[in-house]
Structures are given as C-alpha cells and as structure tokens.
Structure 1
Amino acid sequence: MNYFRKQRNYGCRIHDQYTYMGMKTIVMENERIRLSVLVDKGTEIFEFLLKSRDLDFMWLTDNGIHNPNRYLPTSPDSQSTYIDYYIGGWQEIFPNGGVSSSYMGAQFGQHGEVAHMPWDYIIETDTPEMISVKFTVKPKKVPFELSKIFTLCANSTKVTIKEEVRNLSEVSLHYMWGQHMALGKPFLQPDCKISLPENIEVIADILDFPEDKTVRVKRGITHQWPLVEEPSGDMTDLSILPSQGTPSEIVYLTGFNETGWYQVENNKLGAAMRVEWDARVMPYLWYWQEFGHTSGYPWYGRHYNIGLEPFSSYPTHGLAEAIRNGTANLIHGEETQTFTMSAALLEI
C-alpha cells in the first residue's frame, strides 16, 4: 500500500486501504458502479454494484464471507473444502475445473488452486478518467504465472479484464481455465431472461448426474438453445428462469464465434448484466442452475442462483477428463497465452 498515493472522492478511484473479514480488499469504483475484490482470497469479486439502483448482481451464499485462516475444514474431501469456503460471487478457476483430479503427479482439489490463494497487486493507472489494477499469482503445484488487469473508465458501467497465463517451465502443460461467475438475489428472480447468440448448442453430459437423479435436460445428447428436451420427452426453455424449487442442473453451451456473449435481464427491476469474452480461449459456457431444489448439503433449499461461466474446457469433472475428451488447453514451455473479457451492468 502506498500511503502517499493521491486520494480522491470523485471520478474513478481505488481504495486499497481496506480489509474485509481480515482479508486484504480492493474496491474499484466510479460514478456508476463499484467492484470489491478479495485480494487475499483468489481475487474473489464479492460485490458488483449498480449504484443508481443500489443493486448488487453477485450472489452471496447464506453462509456469507469468511476468512479461511479462521476456520479449519473438518472434511477430508477436496470438494467439501472448497464449498465450505465458497461465498458465491466470482472466482478465477485455474488450472483444474470441477472435482478433484490428478495430472503429472499433482493432485488438484475442487476448482484448482488460485481461487483460494492470496494474489499480489500493483496499481497501474490511477486518474479520475481511468483506473487499472494488476493482480498476479503463481500456483504451488504447477509452474504457471497467472496475471490479470482490471480496468474501469469514468462514467462507464463496464469492467474490462485482460489476462495472461505463462508457462514458467520448458515442459508442455495442460490446464483448465474459467470464470466462475454466480448471480443471485436481489438481482436474480424467476422469469429473468438469458439472451445468447444464435446457433448455440447445449451439451448435457452424462457424467454429471446419476440416472436416478431428477434433472431438467435429457443427458447424453446435444440440444439447440434455448429449447431442450426433458427426460420425459417434453420441451423446456432454458432461457427463462423457472420457479423456486425447480430441479438443479448443469449444462455446457458452445458454438460461440470469436467473441462470446450473454445477457441476463430482469425486466421487473429494469436491469441487466452483459458479459463478453474471447471464445477462442474459452469456447464453453457452463450453465449451473440451483433453484432451491437441493434439500441437502450444501444448499438445503435456501438459494436461488445461477452460474454462467466462460470456460476453456468441459465438463466439471476435472483436468484428467478434459484431457481425455480433448477440450483441455495446452501451453508449451515458456509460452504465454492471453484472454480478454468484460462485464457491464445495464439499465433497461
């Protein structure tokens, strides 16, 4: 922290003097939006606020935000360890996506390493017209360096993100990379609409659910967005959010051009969120749905939320499965790969 950095209470501004629940926190804001980032916990975005409506788009679980240093997990499995610390919000997922997986002798837990690691940061731009902060992390199990720059301009409701992954070794390595973005109340409600480009396919992977589990989408086949076939043979529209208590589901959307995008609209509130990303690097969009049907751990029927998550690979069964099905990214020794995306909060 630079104690002598010029302070402002107008235009674009960065607050890096804060902690939240004992964790280093950076707040980036301008006249219209505010973004709050847990630097000490994976650069987790726990607030993305549209000031004109006092409306936060990020989902916050009923368990809320807790400092991992203050709680020792009591479960030996990696999935519970991740979920016990999970706050909702928006996480960076790398280099493993989904359940625990082994790769080249390394054992990864749920959603890899960087989502729970502290990151370094530097303030790159700090003017009333524009601010930018660069975050950097190095995973412990594999020789990568991952960095990203958040940029916010005056009077804009859009945050742009430029990322870079660098292989620090001379060995070619596979990885999964994704943006674990979860939306919930107060923004998300039944009848919200999801808009996507034309000709998007819906993959319902048979690995995700056992045959006896209630699901919305028939497994093992590819559907055309937004109408999908249910196991009963009826059709359902995935673009319109259903009522509370609808069965949980996860599917994978693909068929995006070079720039992928989606928009989630709440016409009752007159607000929307639009996300755009480089679909050449992340050609899949994971669509996770939890509408309060899960009566047991970890949700207990308490939540209504979705995740719309750009990802390099699928399904949510770890790096080994992504390598097997040919969707894992490969980066050669000392190579660098880049990724760009943006998220904007809109009044409609």
Structure 2
Amino acid sequence: MTEVETHTERGWDVLRIRSEGLVAELVPGLGGTVTSLRRPDDDAELLWRTPWGLRPLTPTLPGNAEASMLDHFPGGWQTLFPNGGDTAHAHGVEWGYNGETRLAPFDWQVDGSSVIMNTRLVRSPFRVTKIVTVDGPTISIEESVHNDANEAVEVMWGQQVVLGAPLLGPDTVIESGATIVHPDPTATSGANYNDVMPWPRSVGEDSMINLRRVVGPRADHARLAYLTDFVDPKITVRNPAADLGLDLTWDAEAWPYAWYALESGHRRGFPWFGDGYFLALTPSSSWPAHGIHDARRISKATVWVQPDETRNARLALTVHASTE
C-alpha cells in the first residue's frame, strides 16, 4: 500500500510518498526534485544533501552560473534539461547550469501511488511532464518533454541522482553495464576525451583508477568520467558494511550514456571547502557535462526535438540489501 502525504518545509510543499519498502520526498515547486529516499525499516538515507539543504525562497546572490545553481540546489535527484553542466547561450537566450527544469515550478496531482507533475519552461518552448511512482522498494520517474514551438530545438536531457553516506563509503562497490569509459580532461590533467578505457578503468592523475571501488570521505580525491556502450542500461551501487544497495535502470534509447562523478574532499573553497563526499550518476542523452556546445562539438550527442514532437524516457531506482 502506497500513501502520499503533504507537509511544509521552509515554505515549500513537500510530498512524502511511502510504501512498505521505500519513503520518498519530493518538491514539486523546485523542479520536482526528489530530496530524500529512505529505507523505512532503519531510516537509512540513500541520497546526498547539500550542507544548506532545501533553502527558503530567497533572492539569489550575484555570481557565476555554477554559484547561482548552487544557491537553490538541495542535492538529491533532479532532471537536467534542456542543458547539462556548464551554462550555455542557446537559441537566443542563456540556458543556466544544468538547465531550467531543475528550478521550474510544477503543478501536481496524486493518482494512486503516483504523483503527476507538469510545467511549461520559460527559456525554451517545452512542456515537461514527470510521473513519480513508488511501488514497494522501487521509485520510478517517467518523463516526457514536448516541443510547443514551430521550430526544432537542440537539447541535452538527463536525470542526475546524487548518492551519499551511508550507501557511499570505503566498502562501496559499483557495477555497471557499460563497456567503455571516457575520462574528463577538465578533472584529470593530461587526460583526453579519446583516452578510451574498458569499464571499470579510467585515467587518474598518477595512475589508472578502478571506478568499481570508491574511496572514503576526505580522501582528497575526485573523478569525472563518462560511461558509454552499455550492454545493459544499469548501474548497481552496494555497500556491504551498511547492508545497503540500489539498482539504477533506465531507457537507453533516450539516455545512452551515464556521467560518473565522485567528490571526496578534493574541492577546496566554495562550495564544499574540502568536505564534499558524494557520487553523482547521470543517465543522459549527451556528454560531456559542460553544456550543449561542448556536447555537440566533442561527442556529437545532442538531441534535436522537432516541432510538436514528444520524447519519453524512464529511470527507476530499486533499493535492496547489499547481497541481493
């Protein structure tokens, strides 16, 4: 039996969707962001939350695109659309860091065990629909984007899931259906996007990195890589020490790639000040994570959505014990 409750947090309407296997919280007014996923028997949290969490609606301080994005970034699970990563000027307007959808206010209604959310973006001509369903230990997001305009629009599209402790720790193991890894040279000096490696290997600063294993917190370590050529669109993350695991599965036709980003105390100063510890996994239409112009130039993996065309995709997350 799935129950949906509403409460208020810092002025936001927050929906709590509870089943026998999972408790999810989402904020329709902030892009439909999923801010919490907990296992009900022990309250173990899977998602990572920024130190400031869900902030009240406040004026944004002056700053660059990343700083402006972080002003209202609570962590958790968000849609990246119509841009991914660095801000870009496209179709006559600036598209912000990770796109507009993550900030857009959604109208919503409850339909059984699902929450149906709808919005119309401002800086691009899209209507976005998200259907969030919690069923037992699984939460799924079915998403559609519809081009209302009379011209084709080039976009990036993905779902970013940011994981933290207790799922993330020195015992955590990551399995992937990808076969190819591309390192990101902006994160690893001397690397090149064409330094193709077989999963789980990637190029590090001093040696090869095993992406299957992660480091503990405050290890002064960061990774950014792109997983491609999936034989199975699936990533499994498990931590035997916490007896906690999850499976991410998604629609590979819409999102054939996945970004892999790990931060463990490497970034000094703003925003983490040496204390960030999270793993961000982003099934996506495109790579790298540096805005639509780099995605077009480097991977030629942007998507053109034609007038009156609708694109659909689905991502599911299933929670389980680490041994399952």
| Alignment match, 2:211 | 238
Alpha-carbon contact 1:62-1:302 (below 8 Å) kept: no
Give aligned-pair identity as a percent: 26
1:79 aligned to 2:53? no
SS for the counterpart of 2:20 is coil
Determine the C-alpha separation between the residues in 1 that align with 2:28 and 2:169.
30
Alpha-carbon contact 2:39-2:45 (below 8 Å) kept: yes
1:49 pairs with one of 20, 38, 53: 38
| Alignment match, 2:117 | 135
Structure 2, unpaired ranges of 5+: none
SS for the counterpart of 1:80 is helix
Return the letter of the residue paired with 2:116. Answer: K
Give 1:141 deviation, angstroms. Answer: 0.9
| Alignment match, 2:51 | 62
Query: Structure 1 stretches (4+) deviating beyond 4 angstroms?
Result: none
Give 1:194 deviation, angstroms. Answer: 0.2
Cα gap change, 1:230 to 1:303, in 2 (>3 Å): closer
Determine the C-alpha separation between the residues in 2 that align with 1:236 and 1:205.
13
Determine the C-alpha separation between the residues in 2 that align with 1:76 and 1:134.
34
| Alignment match, 1:104 | 91
| Alignment match, 1:215 | none
Q: 1:257-289 CA deviation, whole Å, 9 max, x = no partner?
A: 4x5110100001111011100111111110011
2:179 pairs with one of 193, 196, 200: 200
SS for the counterpart of 1:53 is coil
1:171 aligned to 2:151? yes
| Alignment match, 1:39 | 28
| Alignment match, 2:128 | 146
Equivalenced residue count is 319
The TM-score, its normalising length taken from structure 2, stands at: 0.94
The TM-score, its normalising length taken from structure 1, stands at: 0.87
Give 1:231 deviation, angstroms. Answer: 4.2
| Alignment match, 1:336 | 310
SS for the counterpart of 1:248 is strand
Give 1:102 deviation, angstroms. Answer: 1.0
Determine the C-alpha separation between the residues in 2 that align with 1:242 and 1:225.
18
Determine the C-alpha separation between the residues in 1 that align with 2:161 and 2:9.
20
Return the letter of the residue paired with 1:238. Answer: L
Return the letter of the residue paired with 2:61. Answer: T
1:224 pairs with one of 198, 203, 211: 198
SS for the counterpart of 1:268 is helix
